[in-house]
Amino acid sequence: MPLKHYLLTPGPTPVPERVALAMAQPIPHHRAPAFEALFAEVREGLKWIYGTQQDVLTFACSGTGAMEGALVNFLSPGDAILTINGGKFGERWGKIGRAYGLAVEELKVEWGSAVEPRAVEAALRENPKIQAVCVQASESSTGVAHPVREIAAVTAKTGALCVVDAVSALGAMALPMDEWGIDVLLTGSQKALMLPPGLAFAAASEKAWRRAEGAGLPRFYFDWRREREMQRKNQTAFTPAISLVLGLAEVLRWMREMTLPAIYARHDRLARAARAAMEAIGCALFAKAPVVSLTTVLSPGGIDSDKLVKTLKTKYGVTLVGGQDAAKGKIFRIAHLGYFDDLDIVVAVAAIERALADHGWKQEPLGTGVGAAMKVMAEAAG
């Protein structure tokens, strides 16, 4: 019998059946009243999940497109920015900034660790010309949660914008934009929002929009002021990803049914279960400040994590991802954001135990990790 496949990567994540069915509907024309009504519903739903009264813009692109837009709409050539570089996506802020001629200052953080807010404060004090602080809410290459709320409190005392990549965080954990004072918040469709890749979302504070009036970097497709004007008419400046918007409307309806507190509690439960399982079988966790979206694990006993991930996929049908760059071959990552439940984690843990045994790791009896995960889940259920 062919293997049944389980997708447990931090993006893309599984798409629920009801969302897939919504996307299979006949495509309406994007300039027709039916689409305008749907887009109006989506715009209100995005404000709800963002926790903002600001417009949340929708783009047909990946999350990196929103990252690029978050710089070009609010900065000018030669402006200084501070990037928190503690992983592949923190590194990306610097690459985008340099491509546009910005003066990039990197605050390097050890992989697996979160940035200290006082280090951000010190950097802004040393260089008061810094115009933006760019950080990940969830650095998915390392599984780390950076202290966004505290960083936003620091930037609020300065002229710098707090720019947050929440691609693997929004919808899995609370990030109330207005309450925390985040200036630019962006995310993507293929993570906790349970959609295929192809949409990105971004919102900006009044502080940021004031900055946009004098921003001098070039932009065309990612001109957020033009896009905001169009989307307030329930239209988009360019052709939208219509089928994905149909799916997004269904996602937002479903999330309202579940409620955000329940969604966040589920993510927390799955994260605690996965970590308890890994520690029970003798594996060390990689992230010192773990995010609820995924669990990063040091591969034990010198086992090459890339080979372990290959075994998981080819022998057990479970798709995880390994590490990148300095962490390549050293860690594996278990996702639990979006359309995941308790039994998905049980399957993942069971497969990991089997695969580790296949590679010679036999310190604990098979089932130890599964038992630890189920104990956490049972206790959470009361």
Residue 208 and residue 87 share a domain: yes
Residue 358 and residue 284 share a domain: yes
What are the pLDDT digits (tens) for 333-350? Answer: 999 999 999 999 999 999
Task: State the CATH number of the domain containing residue 240.
Answer: 3.40.640.10
Average pLDDT of span 118-131: 98
User: What's the domain count of the chain?
Assistant: 2
The domain in which residue 337 lies consists of 260-381
- The last residue of one of the domains, among 203, 234, 257, is 257
What are the pLDDT digits (tens) for 55-106? Answer: 999 999 999 999 999 999 999 999 999 999 999 999 999 999 999 999 999 9
Task: Specify the pLDDT at position 258.
Answer: 97
Residue 135 and residue 146 share a domain: yes
- The last residue of one of the domains, among 211, 240, 257, is 257
**Residue 373 within any structural domain of the chain:** yes
Long-range contacts for 358-364 (Cβ within 8 Å, ≥24 apart)? 358/311, 358/315, 359/301, 359/303, 359/307, 359/308, 359/311, 360/301, 360/303, 361/282, 361/300, 361/301, 361/303, 363/281, 363/282, 363/300, 364/280, 364/281, 364/282
pLDDT band at 382 (very low <50, low <70, confident <90, very high): confident
- The last residue of one of the domains, among 195, 225, 257, is 257
Residue 141 and residue 167 share a domain: yes
**Are 133 and 127 contacting, i.e. CB atoms less than 8 angstroms apart?**
no
Task: State the CATH number of the domain containing residue 304.
Answer: 3.90.1150.10
Task: Specify the pLDDT at position 159.
Answer: 96
Residue 305 and residue 235 share a domain: no
Task: Specify the pLDDT at position 88.
Answer: 95
Residue 197 and residue 87 share a domain: yes
Please count the other Cβ atoms lying within 10 Å of the Cβ belonging to residue 262. Answer: 11
Residue 207 and residue 65 share a domain: yes
N residues, the chain: 382
**Residue 66 within any structural domain of the chain:** yes
**Residue 11 within any structural domain of the chain:** no
Residue 295 and residue 241 share a domain: no
Residue 317 and residue 293 share a domain: yes
In the chain, pLDDT over 90 holds for what percent of residues? Answer: 97
